[in-house]
Chains A and B, each alone.
Chain A
Amino acid sequence: MLPFQYHRAEDAETALQLLQQSGAMALAGGTSLLDLMKLGVETPPHVVDIRDLPWKEITADSSTIAVGALCSNAYVADHPLVGRHFPAVSQSILSGASGQIRNMATVGGNILQRTRCPYFRSSGWACNKRDPGSGCSAAIGYHDPHAVLGVSDACIAVYPSDLAVALTAADASVVLASQTGERTLLLTDFLLRPASTPHLETRLQHGELIKAVVLPLTGAPRKGRYLKLRNRAAFDFATVSVAASLTIEGAKVVHAALALGGVGTVPWRSKQAEDQLIGRELSDDAVESFCDTLLAGAAPADASHYKLRIARGAVCRILRELEQDQ
């Protein structure tokens, strides 16, 4: 690990000022950043510890639930408001990492975590995300775990967060704070596909912090689930995951929101596919055509083609389970 200067910020104003320093990075739970610093992937000259900032509350008003960016994953998963209104969010957290990591990791850090692509994590291999312009070792190397949706010639790395998949299906927004004020972006706008600039993963500017995640309430809580398929039953990243909420009234779908994880360079959602379901019965044909639209444009390699079949199965299973939940 390269030497750095450690700064402990006591409040948001100080933190945002300290983060103005060239190359400064914020440290919250540390489970991602410290790991990558040990690997030599991240080399910040200044580390700003933001854990003393007060963004650790979950609050609700009549139309939203706001989750402070420094809430631990364990706290969010266990919170009654989250469990009642957004069961998929709670389940997504509990399906990931370990008890120790869920205690340490924060909501903001979870969203900003970097890919688990082994070429990204091993400095010295060509990686356009870690070293722009150096090439993509994954494209010519080991293929199985990589993304099949939202990929580009420059990068096929999977976006790793479970939580962000559930937040995407819940229409979440992120509140960003900087010295000049605050702005709010939909999570789906905040997270970027790689295109030709895979090193740019979000719209977070230098000196800016995620302050909170905002979830819109929808009257009566919707039925929601998170399904995660992976190589072993615990403490593993998703091969394919699905977060979904579904409302059926009079045998017709009146609301559907579904996002896929483990298959895309960002959480994968298609409003067009969801609109096709509205007003229809949840027939096998309807589910198949939903999958066709959701997975349109997939660009799998031979070795990652299996993910599309698993994704179809996972979508079908979660929709049928939610149908039973009605």
Chain B
Amino acid sequence: MSNIDLPSPPASSAARSMAASISTSVRVNDSAVTVVHDCRMTLLDLLRDELTLTGTKKGCDHGQCGACTVLIDGQRVLSCLTLAATVAGRSVQTIEGIGDPDHPHPLQAAFIEHDAFQCGFCTPGQIMSAIALLGQRRPLTKEMIKEQMSGNLCRCGAYNNIVDAILKVAQNASVPIPSR
């Protein structure tokens, strides 16, 4: 039912005068940052607009596509449904924190090797989600990976190759997991 699109008449224009702001201190990719921001700001917008960490993508902005997946204290979450203020004192890991072109994360290397993306928009979310999945240190089958990765949509339909890439890394026990 969540996927039904209905035409949306204009919402009430009643506005509240107060636009409260707040200061949030958080660790992002192992660096301490403090940002003063509107209370309404999501973690996703804080990462992209305030910290210029644009690897994390805004897809649906309603928790349905998984493009905004990041790790908070080692757990995969949706940054679009996380108020920035609520991560004060916590540790956030984004795609920028796990590898670079010279030293790709094993999952990044496996995605390239297995041709696990076309446009690449969903890939940061796919990889962050898969990192947390592998961090659970449980045996994984193809079917389990499909179910566990169902929160990350790929409009290009690279699913089979994504599953293959994750399975390849899952079979290699030495994957580095971000610190909590």
Binding site for B on A (CB under 8 A): 1-6, 8, 27, 30-31, 34-35, 38-40, 45, 47, 49, 51, 97-101, 103-104, 116-119, 122-125, 142, 145, 158, 233-237
**Which of B1-9, B47-55, B94-102 binds A?**
B1-9
Q: Is B129 an interface residue (CB 8 A)?
A: yes
In the complex, A125→B9 CA distance in Å? 7
Decide: A100 near B66, CB < 8 A? Known: A3-B20, A40-B11: yes
Contact A5 B2 (CB under 8 A): no
Residues of A within 8 A of B83 (CB): 6, 27, 30, 34, 47, 49
Q: Which residue of A lies closest to B149 (CB)?
A: A99
Q: Is B132 an interface residue (CB 8 A)?
A: yes
Of A8, A39, A119, A124, which contacts B85 at CB under 8 A? A8
Q: Is B22 an interface residue (CB 8 A)?
A: yes
Shortest beta-carbon distance from B3 to chain A in Å: 9
Contact A34 B1 (CB under 8 A): no
Q: Is B175 an interface residue (CB 8 A)?
A: no
Of A4, A100, A125, A234, which contacts B6 at CB under 8 A? A125
Contact A122 B147 (CB under 8 A): no
Interface of B is mostly: loop
Q: Which residue of A lies closest to B4 (CB)?
A: A118
Residues of B within 8 A of A118 (CB): 1, 4, 6
Contact A5 B82 (CB under 8 A): no
Residues of B within 8 A of A100 (CB): 63, 66, 69, 76-78, 129, 151
Contact B86 A38 (CB under 8 A): no
Residues of B within 8 A of A97 (CB): 151
Interface string of B1-41 (1 = CB under 8 A from A): 11010101111101111111010000000000000001110
Q: Is B81 an interface residue (CB 8 A)?
A: yes
Binding site for A on B (CB under 8 A): 1-2, 4, 6, 8-12, 14-20, 22, 38-40, 42, 61-63, 66, 69, 75-78, 81-83, 85-86, 88, 129, 132-133, 146-152
Shortest beta-carbon distance from A256 to chain B in Å: 29
In the complex, A3→B9 CA distance in Å? 21
Residues of A within 8 A of B66 (CB): 98, 100
Decide: A234 near B146, CB < 8 A? Known: A3-B18, A34-B42, A104-B77: yes
Contact A4 B133 (CB under 8 A): no
Q: Which residue of B lies closest to A5 (CB)?
A: B20
Shortest beta-carbon distance from B140 to chain A in Å: 12
In the complex, A117→B1 CA distance in Å? 7
Residues of A within 8 A of B20 (CB): 3-6
Shortest beta-carbon distance from A18 to chain B in Å: 14
In the complex, A241→B88 CA distance in Å? 38
In the complex, A142→B4 CA distance in Å? 10
Q: Which residue of A lies closest to B19 (CB)?
A: A3
Contact B8 A98 (CB under 8 A): no
In the complex, A236→B14 CA distance in Å? 34
Since A123-B11, A235-B151 are in contact, a sample of 10 more A-B pairs with Cβ atoms closer than 8 Å, ordered by chain A residue number, is A30-B82, A38-B61, A39-B62, A98-B151, A100-B66, A104-B77, A122-B9, A124-B9, A234-B147, A235-B150
Contact A99 B148 (CB under 8 A): yes
Residues of A within 8 A of B42 (CB): 34
Residues of B within 8 A of A6 (CB): 20, 22, 39, 83, 85
Shortest beta-carbon distance from A133 to chain B in Å: 16
Of A101, A104, A117, A124, which contacts B11 at CB under 8 A? A124
In the complex, A14→B110 CA distance in Å? 48
Shortest beta-carbon distance from B159 to chain A in Å: 12
Shortest beta-carbon distance from A221 to chain B in Å: 23
In the complex, A319→B128 CA distance in Å? 40
Taking each of A34, A38, A39, A100, which has the highest tally of chain B beta carbons within 10 Å of its own beta carbon?
A: A100
In the complex, A5→B16 CA distance in Å? 11
Decide: A45 near B76, CB < 8 A? Known: A118-B1, A124-B10: no
Contact B16 A45 (CB under 8 A): yes
Q: Which residue of A lies closest to B61 (CB)?
A: A38
In the complex, A119→B6 CA distance in Å? 8
